[in-house]
Structure 1
């Protein structure tokens, strides 16, 4: 996965911030690539091949073009939220408890 700088007392704030943003951007690029493959790949490029399969009475390629990519995008939003909280905790940047004190 590459070099990961764990948050520790001997890590400078600048190194911690760079490592956090590197992890954040890597996550975003990965998730956007998945969405691109699902929306453009399944909905456009592979649509004719996928149309031989049916989902809910509709050809699968049509379903991906109309609904599937939206559902995948929503699932990726929830995954991003879950994963970014784990990344924030790893780099001591989790601010969920700030308003509770």
Structure 2
């Protein structure tokens, strides 16, 4: 690749990863906690409704998992474009 194309391709893939992970986070936090709350409340976990659980705990767990997924994907992307240490 030409020197100017390499950073652009890297940044394009980086933005794609970020947008996908943000969409997942939005669906879990806003979707499961607010929009799909009524449907999820039909299921109970430990005596609590699943919609309530996602609003209070589940979205935070998914966010932490997404951080680890982002780190893993960015490490692979860095190696692909030669930006690893």
Length-normalised TM-score, structure 1: 0.82
Q: Which residue of 2 aligns with 1:30?
A: 20
Runs of 4+ displaced beyond 4 Å: none
Structure 2 residue 43 is the aligned partner of structure 1 residue 43: no
Aligned residues: CA RMSD: 0.6
Alignment length (residue pairs): 85
Secondary structure, aligned partner of 2:4: helix
Shift of 1:58: 0.8
Shift of 1:12: 1.3
Distance 1:58 1:14 in 2: 54
Length-normalised TM-score, structure 2: 0.97
Structure 2 residue 75 is the aligned partner of structure 1 residue 94: no
Distance 1:56 1:23 in 2: 41
For the pair shown, which has the larger CA radius of gyration, 1 or 2? 1
User: Where does 1:1-101 land on structure 2 (aligned, <5 Å)?
Assistant: 11-95=1-85
- Structure 2, gaps ≥5 residues long: none
- Structure 1, gaps ≥5 residues long: 1-10, 96-101
- Structure with a larger share of its residues in helix: 2
